[in-house]
Amino acid sequence: MAVIKKKKGNFLEDFRVGHVFHHKVGKTLTAGLFNAFTEFDMTTNPLSKNKRYAERYGFRDLVAPPGLVMNIVFSQSVEDISENARANLEYINMRFGAPLYIGDTIEVASTVLGVKPSGREPDRGVVHVQTSGRNQDGEVVLTYERKVQVWKGNADATVTEATIDRVPEVACTPQLPVYDASRRYAELARLTSPDTYYEDLNPGDTIEHSRGRVVTTEHVALTAMLDNTSQVHCNQFMVDQNPDKYIGGQLIVFGGIPFNLCLGLSCPDVADNAVTDLVYTTGRHTAPIFAGDTVFASTELRAKRDWPERPDLGIVATTLRGHKFVRKGDAWEKVEIFYLEREIAVKRRSHYA
Amino acid sequence: MAVIKKKKGNFLEDFRVGHVFHHKVGKTLTAGLFNAFTEFDMTTNPLSKNKRYAERYGFRDLVAPPGLVMNIVFSQSVEDISENARANLEYINMRFGAPLYIGDTIEVASTVLGVKPSGREPDRGVVHVQTSGRNQDGEVVLTYERKVQVWKGNADATVTEATIDRVPEVACTPQLPVYDASRRYAELARLTSPDTYYEDLNPGDTIEHSRGRVVTTEHVALTAMLDNTSQVHCNQFMVDQNPDKYIGGQLIVFGGIPFNLCLGLSCPDVADNAVTDLVYTTGRHTAPIFAGDTVFASTELRAKRDWPERPDLGIVATTLRGHKFVRKGDAWEKVEIFYLEREIAVKRRSHYA
Amino acid sequence: MAVIKKKKGNFLEDFRVGHVFHHKVGKTLTAGLFNAFTEFDMTTNPLSKNKRYAERYGFRDLVAPPGLVMNIVFSQSVEDISENARANLEYINMRFGAPLYIGDTIEVASTVLGVKPSGREPDRGVVHVQTSGRNQDGEVVLTYERKVQVWKGNADATVTEATIDRVPEVACTPQLPVYDASRRYAELARLTSPDTYYEDLNPGDTIEHSRGRVVTTEHVALTAMLDNTSQVHCNQFMVDQNPDKYIGGQLIVFGGIPFNLCLGLSCPDVADNAVTDLVYTTGRHTAPIFAGDTVFASTELRAKRDWPERPDLGIVATTLRGHKFVRKGDAWEKVEIFYLEREIAVKRRSHYA
C-alpha cells in the first residue's frame, strides 16, 4: 500500500559516458502528423506537397520536410535525455540520410558523449549526446549531437564527469534518386520558383523572407503529437504555481516548432528547388517563443560549391536566422530567436528547367 | 552582397488580360488535411464520412466535401492572384467536376479575364480571373471565376485596362457513378435524414439551421494547411504595427473557412442526401469573421427541377446565407457574413429509400 | 412558404423503452483523426504509435487506443440520445471487442433500456440506453450502457416511464492475436517500460501520474472531428446570450476529451504493457473542464487475477481518477473531474521480456 510517483527522465547524476539509451515507444509517421507539420509551416517545396512531383523525381511518395524529420527524431529522445533539462544549448553536425515517408516507423537511440557539472552552479551541468533515428529497414534518417543543460536531481549526488574518447561514427548520407534526364523534369518546373536554382543563389546575399506566422496555443497540441513529454510546454498548472521559476512565466513553445517554422518560412526563397537538406553544422535557440509571437526568418547565403558525385546539384551553405519583435514602450525590438548553419543540395537550372 | 526582400504575389499593374498563371507547388490531399476540414465543419453527408457508404454508391473512397474542394483549388491561386488583394469581391459560376479523393494531387491554373482600375481610388482596382483545378489524370475538379480588388504596388504605374473577348470554355461536369438498383441503396438509408430527399425540399421554404460553431484561433493553422499565403490571416505583428489599416485591427479569418463552415452547418437539413454540389452561380463574403465569432447558416429553397439524364436525382436551387451576432450595447445584432447561390443534385426517395 | 427550424435530437418524452436507434452517418477512422486523438493525449503504448511493434504482436496495423474507440462510438450516439441532455450521469459495463484500425468504418446503434422522469424537477428525467458500435465486418468494437439526464421539450408532455425487462446481451470479447513465442517479443521489449508488467503492478498501490496537460480551445475542433453535435461545446453565442444557464458561463469541454486524456496520462505507468482495455464497469465525470484547465490523473491498483485462457496475460483492476486544480484565493483546490473503474489485460514479463 503506497502512493507512488515515478521519476520521469534522468538527472545530471544519472548520465554515464558511453551509455546508450534505446528510447521507448518509437513512432510511425501517419498522414495526420505529416499534415499537421508539413502544412503548418508554409513549406513550399513540392516534394513535400505534390505526390505527382515527388514520384516524377524518383521518390516513393511525398517526402517529409527536414523540420519534421528533426522533430520526430528529437522528440523520441526527450524523456531520457531532456525531460529534466533547463535549456537546450546546441545542435551539432545534424545530418540527413534516408528520406522519411508516411507509414515509416522511426526508432531512436542516443549515446552519452560527455557529462560536465557546472563550475559555478552546483545544481546543474551539461550533457553531450549523439542521437540517431532509424527507419524500419535500419537506415539512418537523421543523426546529430546536442548539448543540453540538465538539472541535478539531488544536490548532493556525485556527478561522474567524463568525455568519450572518440565520437562514434554513424554512417548517414542522403539517399537521393539518381538523375535521369528521361524523367523530363522540366515539364514540372513551373511548380517551383524560377529564381531559386543553384545558379541563382549568390554568396554574400541575405534574403529577408517576407512572410511571418503567428504561433497560437496550437503549439501545445503539436508538441503532444510529437510525443514530446517536456512539461514546460503543456503543464499550465505547474507554471501558474511558480511563474518566477519559468521563463516568461508562461508555457514556452517547444524549440522544434520555431525550428520547423523558420525552415518553412525560408522555403520559397531558398529551398523550394532543394532536393534535400544535408547538414546543420551548428544550431541554437537564442530566445524563447510564446503563444502570440509572430515568427520571421532570414537566410544568409555564405558559400556554394560543386558536388562532384552529383553534377546536377550544387551545395549551398547558408545561415538561417529566426526572429520576432517584442514591444518596448512604443517601439518594437527585433529579437533573434534561432540560429542555424545549414547546407542544402540545390538543383541546377541547367539540368532541371 | 545585398539584402534582398523578394516581391510576393502580383499588384494591379502586373496583370495582363489573357495571361495564364500556372500556380506553383500543387497539392496532394492527405488523410490529415481531409480530416482537418471535413470534420471541422460538422458535415453530415456520409459520402464524406463513411467509406462503406461511399463505396456502396460507387465512389472509389470517401469523397471530399465541396467546401474542401473549393478551399484547395482557391488557395493554390492565392499567391499569384490575391496575395496583395484588399478584398475578394465575388465568386462566379463555380462548377464541380470529378470527385476529389484522398491521395489525389491537384494543380491549378488561372486566366486573367479582365483588369479595371478604380475610377475613384487610384491605389487599387479589380482583377477578374478564371481558375481551374485538375487532378493527376487531368480531369477538372473545380472551375470558377472570381473578382478581386487588388492594390497597386506603385501608385504611378500604368494599369492596362482590358476585358477578354471571350471567356474560355472549361469542360467541367459532375462525374457521378451511374444509378444501379442492384446496389440496394435502401439498406443504408438509415444513415441519412429521412426528410431531406428531393421530394421533401419545398421551394419557398427557408430553413434556419439550428447549429452554430465558434471559430477559434484554429483558423491560423487551417489556413496554413491550405497553403494560403495571405498575411492578413496569420501575421499578427503586421497587424499589431498598424491596426488601423486592417479590418477590425486583428487577424481576419480566411473566407474559405466560413464558406466551408456554412456548407457544413447546412448539411443535415438540405445536403446529407445530395450526391454532389453542381454550381455556385454567385457568392460573396458580406462581412468579416474573427476568432471568437460563432457562425450560423440558413438555406432558402428557391426552385427545383428534374435532371433529364438522371431520373434518380433532382436539382435544387438554394441560397445559402451565413450570419453571426455582434454585440451592440446590451443587444445582439444579426450580421450576414456570407451569401451563396447554390445548386445541388439531390437523391429522390423513390429511388434510394 | 415557411421558415423552418428543425428539431435536433430527442427530448425526454420522445424516448420509448425498447426502441432501437440506428444512428446516422457512421464514421471511417482516417489517419488524420487517429493522429489528432492518439497523439493529443500522450499515450505511450507502442501498439498505437509504432506500426512495426503492432505488427510484431500480430495486429494488422496501429491499434486505436481505448479513448479513441470510446470517443468515436459515443459521439455517433449524441444526436439521437444526448443532444438535448443536461448531464451525462454514468457509463456502465463498457466492454471492448474487435481492435479498431485506420480505415475501419464504425456504425452505431442504441437501445432504450429505461425512461424515468425526475420526481422533483418536472423539466427533466433520466434515459438509460445500451449503445454498441460495429465495424464494416459487423464485429462489435465497443458496447456499453449509459445513463443521461435529458430535458423535456414540452413541460406538459407525458413521459412514458418504463424499464426494459432484460438488458439485451451483446457479444463483445476482446479479439487478441494469439501468443506465439516464435515472434520473439523480447527483441522489442526496450520500447516499453521495464516496470509495468503484470508482475510489477501491486494491488493497494496508488500511482500519481506525473504529467499534466492543459486543454486549450483545441477542444472545439477535436469535438467537431468526432461529429459530436452537442452545442454546449461549440456554440459560443448560445452561451454568451445566457451565461447563467450554462455551467461556468462558458463552453464546456466534451467529456470524451478528459476521458481520453486521463487514459493517456496514465499510460506510461500502468498501460504501456497492456494489450487491451477489457471493461469499464462504471465511470462518471465528477466536475466540468474548461479551456485553460490542466488535467492530471492517478491510478489506484485495486486487484489482479489470472486470465485462464491467456497464461501470457493477467487482468488488473484499477480505478483511474482525473483531477484539476482550481484557484481559491491564494491557494489551489484539488478537484476530482473523472472517475473510472477500469480493467486491463497486461503482459507478463515471463512471456514478453
What is the per-residue pLDDT across B205-242, written as a single tens digit (0 to 9) for each? 999 999 999 999 999 999 999 999 888 999 999 999 98
Low-confidence ranges of chain C (pLDDT < 50): none
Cell of C267: 499510460
How many C-beta neighbours within 10 Å does residue C21 have?
Answer: 19
Q: Directed axis angle between helix C218-225 and helix C256-266, to 10°? A: 100
Cβ separation of B191 and C224 shorter than 8 Å? no
Q: For residue A30, which residues of chain B lie inside 8 Å, CB to CB? A: 31-32
Minimal-distance CA residue of chain C relative to B207: C4
Distance CA B216, CA B234 (A): 13
Chains with 3 or more CB pairs under 8 A to chain C: A, B
How does pLDDT run across B98-150, given as a tens digit for each residue? 999 999 999 999 999 999 999 898 899 999 999 999 999 999 999 999 999 99
Assign A230 a pLDDT band (cuts: 50, 70, 90). Answer: confident
For residues B287 and C300, give the distance between their C-alpha atoms in angstroms, rounded to a whole number. Answer: 54
Answer left, alpha or beta for residue A289, where phi above 0 means left and psi between -120 and 50 means alpha. beta
The pLDDT of B266-272, averaged and rounded, is 96
d(CA A6, CA C206): 11
Give C-chain residues touching A231 at CB under 8 angstroms: 211-212
**Quick count: other Cβ atoms within 10 Å of Cβ A7?**
11
Q: Of C26, C231, C236, which is closest to B50 when you measure between CB atoms?
A: C26
Chains touching B (3+ CB pairs < 8 Å):
A, C
Give the mean model confidence (pLDDT) for residues A310-326: 98
SS3 readout for chain C: CCEECCCCCCCHHHCCCCCEEECCCCEECCHHHHHHHHCCCCCCCHHHCCHHHHHHCCCCCCCCCHHHHHHHHHHHCHHHHCCCEEEEEEEEEEEECCCCCCCCEEEEEEEEEEEEECCCCCCEEEEEEEEEEECCCCCEEEEEEEEEEEECCCCCCCCCCEECCCCCCCCCCCCCCCCCHHHCHHHHHHHCCCCCCHHHCCCCCEEECCCCEECCCHHHHHHHHCCCCCHHHCCHHHHHHCHHHCHHHCCCCCCHHHHHHHHHHHHHHHHCCEEEEEEEEEEEECCCCCCCCEEEEEEEEEEEEECCCCCCEEEEEEEEEEEEEEEECCEEEEEEEEEEEEEEEEECHHHHC
Q: What is the pLDDT of residues A177-221, one digit of tens each?
A: 999 999 999 999 999 999 999 999 999 999 999 999 999 999 999
Q: What are phi and psi of A211, to 5 degrees?
A: -90, 155
Q: Which chain A residue has the Cα nearest residue C270?
A: A6
pLDDT value at position B247? 82
What spatial distance separates the first Cα and last Cα of chain B, rounded to whole Å?
Answer: 72
Q: Helix or strand or coil: residue A333? A: strand
d(CA C326, CA B38): 36
Give residue-wise pLDDT tens across range B22-72.
999 999 999 999 998 887 677 899 999 999 999 999 999 999 999 999 999
Task: Give the type of residue at A135.
Answer: N
Residues of B in contact with A190 (CB under 8 A): 22, 24
Asked whether the beta carbons of C173 and C97 are under 8 A apart, the reply is yes
pLDDT of the residue at B124: 93
Q: What is the pLDDT of residue B284?
A: 97
Instruction: Please indicate whether, in this complex, the C-beta atoms of B28 and A52 are within 8 angstroms of each other.
Output: yes
Residues in chain B closer than 8 A to A33 (CB atoms): 32
Answer whether B51 sits within 8 Å of C105, measured CB to CB. Answer: yes
Cα gap B84→B203, rounded to integer Å = 41
Q: How many CA atoms lie within 13 A of B157 on its CB side?
A: 18
C-alpha span between B49 and C141 (Å, rounded): 18
- Kindly compute the dihedral angle of the four CA atoms of residues C216, C222, C223, C228, in this order, to the nearest 10 degrees: 180
Is pLDDT above 70 for A1? no
**Lookup: cell for C189:** 521489449
| C-alpha cell at position A37 | 507539420
Strand partners, C147: C90, C128
* Cα nearest neighbour of A223 on chain C: C40
Closest CB to A26 among C53, C205, C325:
C53
b/e code B261-281 from CB counts within 10 Å (16+ = b): bbbbbbbbbbbbbbbbbbbbb
Q: Which three cell numbers stand for residue A275?
A: 532536393
Cα of B201 to nearest chain A Cα, Å: 37
Interface with C, mutate which of B52, B62, B222, B265 (most C CBs under 10 A):
B52
Q: Using 50, 70 and 90 to split pLDDT, how confident is the model at B1?
A: low
Q: How many CB atoms lie within 10 A of CB A184?
A: 10
> CA A257, CA C219: separation in Å to the nearest integer?
21
Q: How far is A217 from chain B (nearest CA, A)?
A: 8
Q: How far is CA B314 from the centre of its chain?
A: 22
Across the A/C interface, how many CB contacts are shorter than 8 Å?
137
Spatial separation of the C-alpha atoms in residues B314 and B302, rounded to whole Å: 14
Average the pLDDT over each of A238-242, B339-343, C311-315 and give the range with the smallest value: A238-242
Question: Which of B36, B103, B238 is opposite residue A35, by nearest beta carbon?
Answer: B36
A224-263 CB burial, b ≥16 within 10 A, e <16? bbbbbbbbbbbbbbbbbeeeeebeeebbbbbbbbbbbbbb
Q: Are B111 and B77 a contacting pair, CB within 8 Å?
A: no
Measured in angstroms, the CA of C190 and the nearest CA of chain A are apart by: 6
Cβ pair C190:A2 closer than 8 A: no
Distance from CA of B171 to the nearest CA of C (A): 32
**Among B57, B209, B211, the residue to mutate for chain C (most C Cβ within 10 A):** B211
* Strand B213-214, strand B274-285: pairing: unpaired
Find chain C residues with C-beta within 8 A of A235's C-beta: 211-214, 294
Q: Are A133 and A107 in contact (CB under 8 A)?
A: yes
CB atoms within 10 A of CB B52: 17
Return mean pLDDT, chain B: 95
| Cα angle, residue C261 at apex, residues C258 and C264 outer, rounded to 5° | 155
Return the pLDDT at A8.
83
Q: How many beta-carbon contacts under 8 Å exist across A and B?
A: 137
DSSP bridge pairs for C129: C112, C146
Probe site for chain A from C33, C202, C214, C323 (most A CB atoms < 10 A): C214
* Confidence grade of residue B155 (pLDDT, cut at 50, 70, 90): confident
Average pLDDT over residues B326-340: 95
Contact between A219 and A234 (Cβ < 8 Å): no
What is the reported pLDDT for B147? 98
Nearest to A24 by CA among C63, C44, C265: C44
Chain centre to alpha carbon of residue B18: 24
